[in-house]
């Protein structure tokens, strides 16, 4: 039996979902102070974004994408101290990821003795802008009740079935569709209420 | 801001699937791995016998230090020792 308005209570917390409790700037400051837990949270917060830029934006093969992923976070770790504006960590990471992806494509071209001017197809700016918008939506999602976060993430980002979601969250599978619809309504209200401007490009890759 | 319908929102949610768990974990363990590497390299600098021991089995040296000997980390240790 589905209780009205109970989208937030029942689910066990998924470690993969981020919360909006700590601002990017606060997280960066804690990382810089050597807080390993903050670093873990920072990686968690931006892992999907970096992954999506590499795989969807630049269409890198899985092995190349993994190298890029690790390289990006290694550089972030090493250079966090040079970030001028802690609030700009997201565009900074995005810019860094793009640069590492381009380096990887160039290096691949050299290895295959292709013409350096003939780089593999670079992503359209629209594709990268859409990923920024997707990140905004995920941030808005992180402010929803846990059960809504879980249901929306599992269904749309992890492609899980109603049955799997129901079994995992202890909810009747027959109620998942209506819960999804309600959670999307909440997300829309939340997202449009945020009135998030396009991601700033103030971060500087050093 | 324009109105978002369910279809647009669901498409945007789906654009950011989770990265492979092992990748995320490796990145999260970076600070500990770096500390382990620094410790090994410092000891190897001060002790030639220890350096030879580490070079003989990089993976075991990392494990002893509590660092997961992922290929990337092993390669980094090899590079750091070669730079000495």
Sort out which chain B residues have CB atoms less than 8 A from A181's CB and list them: 6
Work out the average pLDDT over A3-9.
43
Which residue, among A15, A56, A188, A189, would best test binding to B if mutated, counting the most B CBs under 10 Å from its CB?
A: A188
Q: What is the ipTM of this complex?
A: 0.81
Per DSSP, A144 falls in state S
pLDDT at A93: 97
Domain hosting A86: range is 24-194
Residue A48 placed within a domain: yes
A16–B28: do the CB atoms touch at under 8 Å? no
Q: In CATH, what number is assigned to the domain containing residue A76?
A: 1.10.1740.10
Label residue B71 exposed, middle or buried (CB < 10 Å: 0-12, 13-18, 19+).
exposed
Find out whether A50 and A72 touch, Cβ atoms under 8 Å: yes
Find out whether A148 and A8 touch, Cβ atoms under 8 Å: yes
Q: What are phi and psi of A90, to 5 degrees?
A: -65, -55
Mutual angle of helices B71-83 and B30-46, in 10-degree steps? 30
Which residue, among A45, A57, A74, would best test binding to B if mutated, counting the most B CBs under 10 Å from its CB?
A: A74
Residue A2 placed within a domain: no
Shortest CB distance from B4 goes to which of A48, A152, A192? A192
How far is residue A152's CA from residue A149's CA, in Å, rounded to a whole number?
A: 5
pLDDT at A13: 40
HSE of A23, CA atoms in CB hemisphere, 13 A: 7
Q: Give the pTM.
A: 0.81
Poorest-confidence range of A8-17, B8-17, B63-72? A8-17
Poorest-confidence range of A136-150, A190-204, B33-47? A190-204
A130–B15: do the CB atoms touch at under 8 Å? yes
Residue A13 placed within a domain: no
pLDDT at A115: 54
Poorest-confidence range of A9-13, A27-31, A136-140, B56-60? A9-13
Q: For A64-108, how does the pLDDT look when each residue is reduced to its tens digit (9 = 90+)?
A: 999 999 999 999 999 998 998 999 999 999 999 999 999 999 887
Find out whether B18 and B27 touch, Cβ atoms under 8 Å: no
B16–A135: do the CB atoms touch at under 8 Å? yes
The neighbour count for residue A115, using CB atoms within 10 Å, is 7
- The total number of structural domains that make up chain A: 1
Poorest-confidence range of A14-23, A50-59, A98-107, B13-22? A14-23
Q: For B31-82, how does the pLDDT look when each residue is reduced to its tens digit (9 = 90+)?
A: 999 999 999 999 999 999 999 999 999 999 999 988 889 888 899 899 999 8
- Measure A39 CA to nearest chain B CA, in Å: 7
Residue A9 placed within a domain: no
Find out whether B48 and B18 touch, Cβ atoms under 8 Å: no
B13–A130: do the CB atoms touch at under 8 Å? no
Distances (CA, A) of A117 to A107, A121, B56: 12, 11, 44
Residue A107 placed within a domain: yes
pLDDT at A192: 86
């Amino acid at each position: 039996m589905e209780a009205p308005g109970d989208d937030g209570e029942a689910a066990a917390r998924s470690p993969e979902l981020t919360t909006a409790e700590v601002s990017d700037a606060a997280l960066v400051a804690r990382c810089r102070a050597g807080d390993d837990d903050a670093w873990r949270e920072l990686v968690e917060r931006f892992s999907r974004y970096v992954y999506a830029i590499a795989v969807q934006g630049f269409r890198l093969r899985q092995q190349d994408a993994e190298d890029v992923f690790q390289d990006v976070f290694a550089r972030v770790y090493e250079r966090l101290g040079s970030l001028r504006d802690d609030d700009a960590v997201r565009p900074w990471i995005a810019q860094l990821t793009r640069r590492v992806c381009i380096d990887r494509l160039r290096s691949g071209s050299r290895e295959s003795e292709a013409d350096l001017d003939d780089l593999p197809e670079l992503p359209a700016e629209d594709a990268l802008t859409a990923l920024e918008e997707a990140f905004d939506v995920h941030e808005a999602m992180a402010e929803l009740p846990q059960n809504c976060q879980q249901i929306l993430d599992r269904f749309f980002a992890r492609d899980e079935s109603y049955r799997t979601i129901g079994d995992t969250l202890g909810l009747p599978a027959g109620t998942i569709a209506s819960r999804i619809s309600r959670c999307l309504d909440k997300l829309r209200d939340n997202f449009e209420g945020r009135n998030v401007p396009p991601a700033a490009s103030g971060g500087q890759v050093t | 801001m324009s109105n978002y319908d369910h279809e647009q929102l669901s498409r945007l949610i789906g654009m950011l699937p989770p990265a492979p768990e092992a990748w995320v974990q490796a990145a999260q363990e970076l600070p500990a791995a770096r500390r382990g590497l620094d410790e090994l390299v410092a000891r190897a600098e001060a002790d030639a016998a220890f350096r030879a021991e580490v070079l003989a089995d990089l993976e075991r040296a990392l494990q002893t230090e509590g660092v997961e000997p992922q290929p990337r980390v092993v390669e980094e240790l090899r590079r750091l020792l070669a730079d000495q």
